[in-house]
Structure 1
Amino acid sequence: MEEKRKINLKSLVHEGRISYAKDYLQNAKLVLNNQFRFQHAYDMEPSPEIYQLNSWLKSPNGDPEWLYVLKRQEYLQDLLYSYLQTNEVKYLFEIKTLIFEWLKNNDMQDSIRYKTWRTIDTGIRLLNWSKPLSYLISKEIINSEEITQINDSVKRQAKYLRDNYIEKYDLSNWGVLITTGILTFSAEHPDIISSQIADWALKKLIQELKLQIDETGLQWEQSPLYFIEVFRSSLSVVASFKANGEPVPQDIIVVLKRMLQVCDYLVKPNGQLLQQGDTDSIKIDDLIATAKYLLDGQYYPDVYYDFLLISLADNAEVDFASQDLTTKKYYDSVISGNFFFKDTSKKDYWHIYNGNLGSGHGHAASGHIDLVINNEDIFLDPGRYTYVNSHERRNLKSGYSHNVVLVDNSFPTVPLNSWKFSTVVSNQRNEVQHFKKFDSVKCSYIDKKAKYIVTRYYIWIKAHEIMVVVDVVENTGKHLQSDNWIFSPMCKMKEITRSQIKISTEKNEYYLFHSLKKVEFEKQIISDRYNQLQDTFKLIISDKFENNNVSYTVIGKKDVIENVEHVNSVRNGKVDTSDIHNYGLVISLKGKKKITVDIQHQNTIKGNKLYFINNLPFYGNIGVKEGFQ
């Protein structure tokens, strides 16, 4: 029989069980001085600089996103947390001041009302008002006249959201942030927003989640950050409904449990969120722990919780379940084109992407890989930096800033501006297999305009933590193939030979072997968080070819891998140099048996179909065998 239990917000606050507590307190002190820095982990467009608030209509840094974040009023959560931690009512009075400042500058005058609003910001603001307003009322910080003013504004905001909802929001994080704001506020403060609008919002949210979340639990926009926004705001509805005795529709619970299932795979071994598309490197372990509590009744006495969600769920009755500690190393989302491997014991991780572009938050990254070995980032995605239409924005969205194959210095998916693309890759296909000794992911795509096909074979050799990449490019005529490899800023590179590069990190050294002829190192911009930029390095290896080319890149630890070489195939007792039909490479290990990898990309339809690499027989698309020392 399941045990029913409640967890108490004030207890968690005073036990130090709320994540980012220091950030809340520090930010609240800034806000008391009319200073604003938007650096919450869950801010969609953070800004590290501190600005004095002089105007609600003009951005101090020229980026309109700053004003959007200002008007969402997430800093009210900082003030509420600080009140609960210190019991100082000055924080509640500041909440009141800022709510009425928004009203004064955005809603009380007919000349500006609606003109300074956006639907997404309005939905988020209603969510951020929900719990702080309850404290203002219960602690008698606001009088009946002021409550009426706020309620009238809430009614206008909710009506504005319904009246300005457009069809495309059904397939956008905007839609979810609109409807969850209405529903969370309505659950916390019944009878203010009309039942017709609340009912509409609930039906819309169910529709949005069913459309946006695929059967594997991933959100279609191809951005873990916006996955998190949809997940967290939807959990706000679950929290507020449970706390206020409203039944949560099973349709919502089913989808959110699918999202929870994939959450762990979006987090790298170092606890940081995978950067894919428009995503920042943030920690979300508090969100996952809170989601497990709200959805599965799993309670962990030694973890930190998400303040927003726990405040909304304060004293909610939850069925506590036994803790499920079983995890799988793989998560294959064929429908979205995302493949994940996560070994928590070795702290190895990889993510391979070859799927639909998604929304404007998607990046040109077909065939891209992120690679972590022993908790050290090796290959990564350099992030987003800004939404301002600029060279940096377009570059970070392009194929030039991803671990992909370029043909004739171009990639088939080309950004047009901050949000649109002029061309998009087509006909992606993926195959994935997991065997005892290795895992393989095969990705291919077509550029219809340039009429070429790229296929990437990723092979992870488990016991030795070696990643093998075999690229096949098919394009009639003479062309140039270039492979990008973007490294973590913590990596230092040294060219040993033309085909061997040493990579040094804080803890380990690695060897990268490749078969292409030209080697270049370029500076690459990288952004861990919006509005923050640093430099790293990009390795570009390239070679000219005619009609087709097969090549390899292999990376592993220096104390494991000794050498890699391409070995000609033998068929019918003779050397067969048709690499596109059979391509073999031998990986020499230190003190261990050699590993032979064989790729048969195109079917052999004439003659003997059995190939040999160093006397080892191979037949089939992908083969991995241990040879002799």
Structure 2
Amino acid sequence: MKLLTEYQSRVSSNEFINKINKSSSNYLLGLFDRCGYLLEDNIVFTDALDMEACDTSYSLSRYKWKSSPNNDDEWIFMLSRQGFLVDLAIAYHLTADERYLAKWKELIFSFIKQEGTASDLNQLCWRPLDSGLRLSNWIKSLVYLPQDGFSEAEWLALQEAISYHLYYQRETFVSKYLLSNWGVLALCGVAMYQILADDVCEDDVLWQILSDQWELQFTNQGTHWEQSPMYQHEVMMQFANVLQCAEVLNQPLPFDLRKKLTLASTSSYYQVDQDDCLLALNDSDAVDCSYIYDFYRGLGLLQDKKNEDWNQSAILIGEYYFNRTKKEEIISYSTLFCDQKAGLAVLKNEKWYLTCFNGLHGSSHGQASAGSITLNYKGQNVLIDSGRYSYMECVERMRLNSEEAHNVPSLKEQPGTIISGSWSYQQLTNPVAMMVKSFEEGYFIETSWQTKQHDTKEMALVTRRILLFEDFEMLLVMDSCESSRKDELRNYFHVDSDFRLEQLDSQFIQANSNSQQVGFWNLSPVTIQEAIHSPVYNQLAKHPVIMSSTASGDSLLNVMVVSMNQAVTIEEVMVKQNNEENPFHDCFGIRCIQDNSCKEVYLTVRDIISKDKLLVTEDEKYFYGRLVVFNDGQMLRIQ
């Protein structure tokens, strides 16, 4: 790596290090905490990018490199990636404390000596994605270490071990990896090495594979196909490391990686809340990703904050970017985002963070989450996703993957996604449509999907419509189903564990946290039950879930109102067809009153094929349409 010294000189100086030492960031606090464990011969995996986290400390010397203290092979895989070497290298770079360098050497040379080449006896150490990440972490950590800190024999041993990894990553790559995060994680370390070795032009095949991987794995709006925000960042961060190496050394790349990463960073903006906490969609954890997003900001890929607000990743960004990027103008990203190919719709502004998912489940990282929503209001989680907990075949993972663990409508006799194993499905839903739009008082999201039973071939169409009224601080979630048979519509709303729930009557629940009061009004009677969720891999917690059930004919409807304003009163209202005396049951009406203002919402669950299509309210307001809102008597047709 003949350009390594030049790279080091461009990303860091003594003055820059002193600035970082004077600043405090949660990223560095976490890093030095992990290093403290390492110096005591223990290890934890608590970085936001640790795919299979473990906050319980275990002895390194006892379990390295092929055994697991918790019967989960993922712990071995985490150890094999050796991200801890980057922690130790940065700690040494900032403090010049020789203990960190000594521990770095001890661990890497222990691995090289004991498991330095792949064999049938150490397959757990040599999965291609793990060895690829290991190579990346070796190269990243060497950026922070002086070459004169190694003896000639040590440096030679390192170069030989790196050369073996370069050979192994190429030899083990198979075409299946083109569509998998595995393939990106396996090869980006090779790309980083080529840039630092000034050999970019020597391997057209590698760069073509990396380009093909991006085109295959990302939608044209920048969302990763595996539908997991966590795995999107695993892939993006590897590509971002490649971009950083190339730009610092002024090495042109065969494709416009900056443009691609900028697009993906825009999609990623909608995959965290206002505090950069990750959306725990599908196989993801609800972790603080501030330093990851600050890294994107530092590279100029994401421009949503001023530079004084993104100091988490200064040491990772480096001096080369730090002064350049802070001059970038702030971009005001749209409140609404909808990637129909990925099945992701998001509403994000200063107060609200609302997500809705309805995508294809080709990836094994998907869960039974068709139609699932999450809600954060003023920095407080209200409706949560239940997470993943484990990759082992266990009751908890099966439960958390199921429809019951998500904020979804579910048909008892005609379920959508059926989970058959930790990584497999018995059947999947078929996404039909997704759209978002704004209107004067708020926003509207609609998504629909089809369920088809693998045995009977019976089908049903489920549609979820969401109205958010900003002026009333209120959310309406309306679920309807058209089916060829009678069924039971079940609804689940998983409430954050910070809330204490009190059922005031059969339809109304009040939820109280230390900072908020939220009212839940449901069309059908509701019950409160206890459920589990996993905020982070390997961790379980309890929370309340609001459940309801609606059973009738071939048309089913449920409506949930989530009100952040306790001054709002809610009541159901009757609708008739023009010139008819009896209520029209295919149209639902609700009246919401706040102070002197009134909103009425009317949803017609299916097209009218008999008698008048003109409908009339209790107070003789006439309307027509699938979804109509009256705001203080003024009609707005949403659909």
TM-score by length of 1: 0.92
Question: Matched residues in 1 for 2:246 and 2:424: separation?
Answer: 38
Instruction: Return the offset for 1:339.
Output: 0.9
1:119 matched to 2:128? The reply is yes
Question: Matched residues in 2 for 1:371 and 1:409: separation?
Answer: 28
Report the equivalent of 1:146: 154
Question: C-alpha deviations, 1:442-485, integer Å up to 9, x for none?
Answer: 22111111422211111111211211111112224432221111
Change (3 A) 1:12 1:413: farther
Question: Matched residues in 2 for 1:270 and 1:23: separation?
Answer: 17
Report the equivalent of 2:296: 291
Change (3 A) 1:262 1:11: farther
User: Amino acid of the residue matched to residue 475 of structure 1?
Assistant: S
Q: Secondary structure at the match of 1:535?
A: strand
1:259 matched to 2:264? The reply is yes
Report the equivalent of 2:108: 99
Q: Secondary structure at the match of 2:88?
A: helix
1:413 matched to 2:417? The reply is yes
Q: Secondary structure at the match of 2:552?
A: strand
Question: Matched residues in 2 for 1:420 and 1:11: separation?
Answer: 51
Report the equivalent of 2:513: 505
Question: C-alpha deviations, 1:345-397, integer Å up to 9, x for none?
Answer: xx221001112124111111111111122222111101111111111111111
Correspondences of 1:147-166 after superposition (within 5 Å): 147-166=155-174
Question: Matched residues in 2 for 1:7 and 1:601: separation?
Answer: 62
List runs of 5+ in structure 1 lacking aligned partners. Answer: none
Kept after mapping to 2: 8 A contact 1:405/1:411 = no
Change (3 A) 1:338 1:427: closer
Report the equivalent of 1:236: 241
The two structures, once aligned, show a CA RMSD in angstroms of 2.5
1:365 matched to 2:365? The reply is no
1:245 matched to 2:253? The reply is no
Q: Secondary structure at the match of 2:597?
A: coil
Instruction: Return the offset for 1:588.
Output: 2.6
Question: C-alpha deviations, 1:16-46, integer Å up to 9, x for none?
Answer: 2654111211211221222111111211111
Q: 2:86 aligns with which of 63, 71, 77?
A: 77
Kept after mapping to 2: 8 A contact 1:239/1:309 = no
Kept after mapping to 2: 8 A contact 1:213/1:255 = no
Q: 1:271 aligns with which of 276, 285, 290?
A: 276
Q: Secondary structure at the match of 2:602?
A: strand
Report the equivalent of 1:167: 175
Q: 2:548 aligns with which of 529, 541, 562?
A: 541
User: Amino acid of the residue matched to residue 286 of structure 2?
Assistant: S
Question: Matched residues in 2 for 1:6 and 1:83: separation?
Answer: 16
Q: 1:68 aligns with which of 55, 77, 95?
A: 77
Kept after mapping to 2: 8 A contact 1:297/1:318 = no
Kept after mapping to 1: 8 A contact 2:76/2:125 = no
**How many residue pairs end up in the alignment?**
614
Kept after mapping to 2: 8 A contact 1:123/1:177 = yes
Query: Which shifted more, 445-454 or 495-504?
Result: 445-454
Kept after mapping to 1: 8 A contact 2:224/2:232 = yes
Instruction: Return the offset for 1:409.
Output: 6.4
List runs of 5+ in structure 2 lacking aligned partners. Answer: 1-9, 635-639
Report the equivalent of 1:385: 389
Query: Which shifted more, 283-292 or 397-406?
Result: 283-292
Report the equivalent of 1:620: 625
Kept after mapping to 2: 8 A contact 1:478/1:546 = yes
Report the equivalent of 2:590: 585
Kept after mapping to 2: 8 A contact 1:297/1:320 = no
Kept after mapping to 1: 8 A contact 2:383/2:493 = yes
User: Amino acid of the residue matched to residue 341 of structure 1?
Assistant: L
Kept after mapping to 2: 8 A contact 1:425/1:445 = yes
Report the equivalent of 1:461: 469
Query: Which shifted more, 285-294 or 348-357?
Result: 285-294
1:335 matched to 2:341? The reply is yes
Question: Matched residues in 1 for 2:218 and 2:541: separation?
Answer: 33
Kept after mapping to 1: 8 A contact 2:574/2:589 = yes
Q: Secondary structure at the match of 1:416?
A: strand
1:597 matched to 2:601? The reply is yes
Change (3 A) 1:243 1:605: same
Q: 1:531 aligns with which of 526, 530, 538?
A: 538
Kept after mapping to 2: 8 A contact 1:242/1:317 = no
Instruction: Return the offset for 1:119.
Output: 0.5
Change (3 A) 1:287 1:44: same
Kept after mapping to 1: 8 A contact 2:275/2:290 = no
Change (3 A) 1:544 1:115: closer
Question: C-alpha deviations, 1:546-581, integer Å up to 9, x for none?
Answer: 22122211110242321231x22222232454433x
Kept after mapping to 1: 8 A contact 2:578/2:616 = no
User: Amino acid of the residue matched to residue 265 of structure 2?
Assistant: L
Report the equivalent of 1:485: 493
Q: Secondary structure at the match of 2:281?
A: coil
Correspondences of 1:402-481 after superposition (within 5 Å): 402-408=406-412, 411-449=415-453, 450-481=458-489
Instruction: Return the offset for 1:111.
Output: 6.6
Q: Secondary structure at the match of 1:478?
A: coil
Report the equivalent of 2:210: 205
Instruction: Return the offset for 1:114.
Output: 5.8
TM-score by length of 2: 0.90
User: Amino acid of the residue matched to residue 529 of structure 2?
Assistant: E
Change (3 A) 1:235 1:134: closer
Q: Secondary structure at the match of 1:215?
A: coil
Question: Matched residues in 1 for 2:341 and 2:332: separation?
Answer: 24
Kept after mapping to 1: 8 A contact 2:368/2:418 = yes
Kept after mapping to 1: 8 A contact 2:441/2:469 = yes
Change (3 A) 1:525 1:156: same
User: Amino acid of the residue matched to residue 399 of structure 1?
Assistant: E
Q: Secondary structure at the match of 1:497?
A: coil
Percent same amino acid among aligned pairs? 25
Q: Secondary structure at the match of 2:546?
A: strand
User: Amino acid of the residue matched to residue 252 of structure 2?
Assistant: P
Question: Matched residues in 1 for 2:302 and 2:519: separation?
Answer: 46
Question: C-alpha deviations, 1:470-529, integer Å up to 9, x for none?
Answer: 111222443222111111001111111111111112122122111113x33222111111
Kept after mapping to 1: 8 A contact 2:118/2:126 = no
